Structure 1
Amino acid sequence: MSELQDRYIRFDWAIKRLLRQKANCDVLEGFLTVFFGEPIKIIEILESEGNHLLWDDAQWNRIDLKVEKCREEPVFVRIQNMRELYYRERLLYGIPAENLECTGIKGIYCITILYFDIGKGTDYLYHGQNRFIGVHTHDELQVNVKERNAFVTRTPASIFPEYILIRVNEFNNVAVTPLEEWMRYLKEGIIRPDTTAPGLNEAREKLRYYSMTPQERHAYDEHLNAVMIQNDVLSSAKEEGKMEGRLEGIAEGRMDERLKNAKGMKNLGIASDKIAEITGLSSEDVEKL
Structure 2
Amino acid sequence: MIRFDWAIKRLLRNKADFSVLEGFLSELLKEDVQIQDVLESESNQQFATDKYNRVDILVKNSKEELVIIEIQNQNEYDYFHRMSYGTSKAISEYISVGEPYQNIKKVYSINIVYFDLGQGNDYVYHGKTDFIGIHNSDKLMLSAKQTEMLGGKLEPSQIFPEYFVIKVNQFDNVAKDTLDQWIYYLKNNEIKDDFTAKGLSQARELWRVDILPEEEQKSYSQHLKDLRNEASRILTLKVDAEDRAKKEKVLDIAKGLKSKNIPIEIIIETTGLTKAEIEAL
Range of TM-score over shorter length: 0.5 to 0.7
* CA–CA separation in structure 2 for the residues paired with 1:80 and 1:93: 12
* CA–CA separation in structure 2 for the residues paired with 1:85 and 1:116: 6
Q: Does 1:77 align with 2:62?
A: no
* CA–CA separation in structure 2 for the residues paired with 1:55 and 1:42: 29
Query: Residue 224 of structure 1 aligns with which residue?
Result: 224
Q: Which residue identity lines up with residue 22 of structure 1 in the other structure?
A: K
Q: Does 1:11 align with 2:4?
A: yes
TM-score, with length taken from structure 1 = 0.62
Aligned pair in 2 of structure 1 residues 49, 109: CA closer, same or farther (>3 Å)? same
* CA–CA separation in structure 1 for the residues paired with 2:212 and 2:188: 19
Q: CA deviation at 1:232?
A: 1.2
Q: Which runs of 5+ in 1 are unaligned?
A: 1-7, 132-158, 243-289
**Residue by residue, what CA displacement relative to the aligned partner does 1:198-249 show, whole Å, maximum 9, x if unpaired?**
000110110011011221111111111111111111112122229xxxxxxx
Residues 1-289 of structure 1 aligned to structure 2 (within 5 Å) = 8-50=1-43, 57-58=51-52, 61-68=55-62, 73-84=63-74, 86-88=76-78, 90-93=82-85, 95=89, 99-101=93-95, 104-129=103-128, 160-241=160-241
CA RMSD of aligned residues (A): 2.7
Q: CA deviation at 1:92?
A: 4.9
TM-score, with length taken from structure 2 = 0.64
* CA–CA separation in structure 1 for the residues paired with 2:71 and 2:201: 22
Q: Is this contact kept in 1: 2:91–2:105, CA < 8 A?
A: no
Q: Which residue identity lines up with residue 34 of structure 2 in the other structure?
A: K
Q: Is this contact kept in 2: 1:50–1:61, CA < 8 A?
A: no
Q: Is this contact kept in 2: 1:109–1:161, CA < 8 A?
A: yes
**Residue by residue, what CA displacement relative to the aligned partner does 1:182-205 show, whole Å, maximum 9, x if unpaired?**
011000111122332100011011
Q: Is this contact kept in 1: 2:75–2:117, CA < 8 A?
A: no
* CA–CA separation in structure 2 for the residues paired with 1:106 and 1:97: 6
Q: Is this contact kept in 2: 1:19–1:27, CA < 8 A?
A: no
Aligned pair in 2 of structure 1 residues 183, 48: CA closer, same or farther (>3 Å)? closer
**Residue by residue, what CA displacement relative to the aligned partner does 1:122-148 show, whole Å, maximum 9, x if unpaired?**
1100010479xxxxxxxxxxxxxxxxx
* CA–CA separation in structure 2 for the residues paired with 1:181 and 1:224: 22
Q: CA deviation at 1:105?
A: 4.7
Secondary structure at 1:81 match in 2: strand
* CA–CA separation in structure 2 for the residues paired with 1:55 and 1:119: 22
* CA–CA separation in structure 2 for the residues paired with 1:92 and 1:222: 31
Q: Is this contact kept in 1: 2:9–2:41, CA < 8 A?
A: no
* CA–CA separation in structure 2 for the residues paired with 1:20 and 1:63: 13
Aligned pair in 2 of structure 1 residues 59, 88: CA closer, same or farther (>3 Å)? farther
Query: Residue 272 of structure 1 aligns with which residue?
Result: none
Secondary structure at 2:126 match in 1: strand
Q: CA deviation at 1:55?
A: 8.5
